[in-house]
Structure 1
Amino acid sequence: MRIAVTGSIATDHLAVFPGRFTDHLIPDQLDRVSLSFLADTLEIRRGGVAANVAVGLARLSLTPVLVGAVGKDFTEYAAWLHNTGVDTALHMSDTRHTARFMCTTDAEHNQIATFYAGAMAEARHISLASVFGRTGTPDLVLIAPNDPEAMLRHTKECRSLALPFAADPSQQLARLDRAESRALVTGARFLFTNEYETALLLERTGWTRQTVLDQVGTWISTRGAEGVHLMRRAEETRHIPSLPAREPVDPTGVGDAFRAGFLAAAAQGRPLEQSARLGCALATLVLESVGTQDYKIVPGDLLRRIADAYGSEQATALEPLLEDVP
């Protein structure tokens, strides 16, 4: 099964503040915030939601197609993706830089971030029909956070081409109105949200949880250290606990890694619970590293951790998915 991943491609600037943001917020002056945090470290890494997911799929021995918009400063990043096993179908901007994600994380893993769209704003000009005419038709398309008009266009194209798609509206829900939010969700084989986005999705669409479930195949809600909820119409919610981290380092990109692990397993016909467990395992590896793409999968070690967290039978069931991991 081949997966096309559409969405943001960016360079991440990741800073660490050793204190707590909340210690510097004055409750009765939140309408006039002017703060500066002195960071101890700064890491510049490859990132972007779509690129993070595509790299995760490639690490699990799939060959995804990454679809997005970048700037002329992307040459080195593009070569690295190719060497990692990611095929690319990219629109290159003549005037804008590749998107930038600037994020500061405090001692409690709270984050304050700014995202500069840059070349991503031109993703709305990408035609999936044209892309797939060159790369071949995928079995599933992930609509990850991107230029909002691009997300709406790609979703509409998936419907017109009768292509299954997964919806991951994420932080872009804040930019969408009711009709647009509904358009991104309706008909999705998989819908991904985190706990906050779950509430925001209900507010934006004006739908109840049951109405959302009537529109999608499976709704996957990630809940941080509490694990994942798997929801389907007319079925009980299933809960998959997270895989415990040895030493959490940076939460940036954890959700993207979960999506990669989940989709890699689902692409090979695995049950939802198994797919979620592999997603949780990959998410923990990212949590334990700096940078969204700089983790390493060591199959033997990861299977032992899966066995400890979920039982030896679950590790045995997932072992074939890691056989080809270098």
Structure 2
Amino acid sequence: MRIAVAGSIATDHLTSFPGRFTDHLLADRLDTVSLSFLVDELEVRRGGVAANISFGLAVLGLTPVLVGAAGTDFVDYDTWLREHGVDTKSVQVSRTRHTARFMCTTDTDQNQIAVFYAGAMAEAGDISLSRVAARTGGLDLVVVAPDDPAAMVRHTAEARELGIPRAADPSQQLARVDGDEARRLVDGALLLFTNEYEAALLQERTGWTERQILDRVGTWITTRGSAGLTIRAADAPEVAVPAVPAAHVADPTGGGDAVRAGYLAGLGHGLSPRRSAQLGCALATTVLETVGTQEYKLVPAEFTSRIADTYGSAAAEEIGTRVVGGP
């Protein structure tokens, strides 16, 4: 299954605050917030939604095509991705801008405050999906992940024109798009990914109810943090998949991207939606236990053992045999 993942490529600057953000917010002064947090650590890691999803797909045995814009500093990152099995030939490298930056601070309750500098991502709208499809010999699925909003709209329209099924993942960019853009990003998608908050925000942006959204997409996958995820479709009962318990949470960044990678990889390997969701949840827990969104390694026996502990031996055998090299 040839999957193109269109979206952000970024460098993550991750810091931790040894306290709780809420302890420093004054309820009667929220209209004039001015705070500075002294953080303990700084981790500089590779990131970006599309790059994270692509890395996960490659770890799970597929060869994803990364579609996005990066900066003049992309050389080492490009080498890393290619060495791990990601096709980066459709990445546009800017001549003048740096790769996007994601700067995030996490407190002891795993709450996060983050900012994102677009940088080279502003040029992602110049990339043509038709050229990507021609270069690769055709695409089976296009993931339209958070990116420059104009690029997301263009790639959605191109996928529709080319007849390529797509997965809509507007997530973080729902705050930047208007109602018409949100409707265009979602309408007709084979798959829709959101978390619980984004699900509510999507309804507000589109003006559509849950039912109306379900009538316009194939399957809607909603992540629910430690509660796992749900799979919904207009003509099928809801499927709830619990999360794989984490031994500890080193950093929550990238968990949602891992769910998406696992789910898509499962479908690519011929697994059912339920099994694909179980694979996604297991991969997400692996990421949560690691600092950095692409620093994890899968040990097949350990990975399938954790799947068996949560979902049973049949799930572990099927996922292990098809995806990670045996139970």
What TM-score does the superposition give when structure 1 sets the normalisation length?
A: 0.98
Q: 1:321 Cα deviation (Å)? A: 2.8
Alignment match, 1:56: 56
Aligned pairs for 1:115-134 (under 5 A) are: 115-134=116-135
Q: 1:237 Cα deviation (Å)? A: 1.4
Q: What's the CA shift string for 1:198-225, capped at 9, x where partnerless?
A: 0000000000111000000000000000
Alignment match, 1:211: 212
Is residue 2:76 matched to residue 1:39? Answer: no
Alignment match, 1:98: 99
For the 8 Å contact 1:15–1:105, the answer to whether it is kept is yes
Alignment match, 1:147: 148
Following TM superposition, where does structure 1 have runs of at least 4 consecutive aligned residues deviating by more than 3 angstroms?
322-325
Q: d(CA) in 1 for partners of 2:314 and 2:71?
A: 46
Structure 2 counterpart of 1:203, which letter?
Answer: E
For the 8 Å contact 1:60–1:321, the answer to whether it is kept is no
Q: 1:134 Cα deviation (Å)? A: 1.6
Q: d(CA) in 2 for partners of 1:107 and 1:280?
A: 23
Percent of residue pairs bearing the same amino acid type: 62
Aligned pairs for 1:1-326 (under 5 A) are: 1-88=1-88, 89-324=90-325
For the 8 Å contact 2:69–2:123, the answer to whether it is kept is yes
Q: d(CA) in 2 for partners of 1:111 and 1:24?
A: 14
Q: d(CA) in 2 for partners of 1:272 and 1:55?
A: 21
Structure 2 counterpart of 1:56, which letter?
Answer: G
For the 8 Å contact 2:269–2:323, the answer to whether it is kept is no
Which deviates more, 311-320 or 115-124?
311-320
Q: What's the CA shift string for 1:154-210, capped at 9, x where partnerless?
A: 000001000000000001111111111110001111000001000000000000111
CA RMSD, 1 decimal: 1.0
Which consecutive residues of structure 2, in runs of 5 or more, have no partner in the other structure? none
Q: Mark the CA change 1:15 to 1:100 in structure 2 (over 3 Å): closer, same or farther.
A: same
For the 8 Å contact 2:194–2:223, the answer to whether it is kept is yes
Aligned residues: 325
For the 8 Å contact 1:178–1:206, the answer to whether it is kept is yes
Q: What's the CA shift string for 1:122-173, capped at 9, x where partnerless?
A: 1011111112222221111100000000000000000100000000000111
For the 8 Å contact 1:188–1:217, the answer to whether it is kept is yes
For the 8 Å contact 2:266–2:323, the answer to whether it is kept is no
Q: d(CA) in 2 for partners of 1:142 and 1:114?
A: 23
For the 8 Å contact 2:60–2:324, the answer to whether it is kept is no
Structure 1 counterpart of 2:225, which letter?
Answer: G
Q: 1:60 Cα deviation (Å)? A: 0.6
Q: d(CA) in 2 for partners of 1:321 and 1:100?
A: 36
For the 8 Å contact 1:299–1:322, the answer to whether it is kept is no
Q: d(CA) in 2 for partners of 1:281 and 1:198?
A: 22
Which deviates more, 20-29 or 311-320?
311-320
Q: 1:235 Cα deviation (Å)? A: 2.2
Q: 1:295 Cα deviation (Å)? A: 0.7
Query: 3-state SS of the aligned residue for 2:68?
Result: strand
Q: d(CA) in 2 for partners of 1:2 and 1:101?
A: 28
Q: 1:322 Cα deviation (Å)? A: 3.3
Q: 1:324 Cα deviation (Å)? A: 4.3
Q: What's the CA shift string for 1:96-136, capped at 9, x where partnerless?
A: 10000000000010000000000001101111111222222
Q: d(CA) in 2 for partners of 1:48 and 1:42?
A: 17
What TM-score does the superposition give when structure 2 sets the normalisation length?
A: 0.98
Q: d(CA) in 1 for partners of 2:34 and 2:180?
A: 35
For the 8 Å contact 1:60–1:324, the answer to whether it is kept is no
Q: d(CA) in 1 for partners of 2:136 and 2:237?
A: 39
Q: d(CA) in 2 for partners of 1:255 and 1:148?
A: 20
For the 8 Å contact 1:145–1:172, the answer to whether it is kept is yes
Which consecutive residues of structure 1, in runs of 5 or more, have no partner in the other structure? none
Q: d(CA) in 2 for partners of 1:269 and 1:317?
A: 10
Q: d(CA) in 2 for partners of 1:324 and 1:43?
A: 32
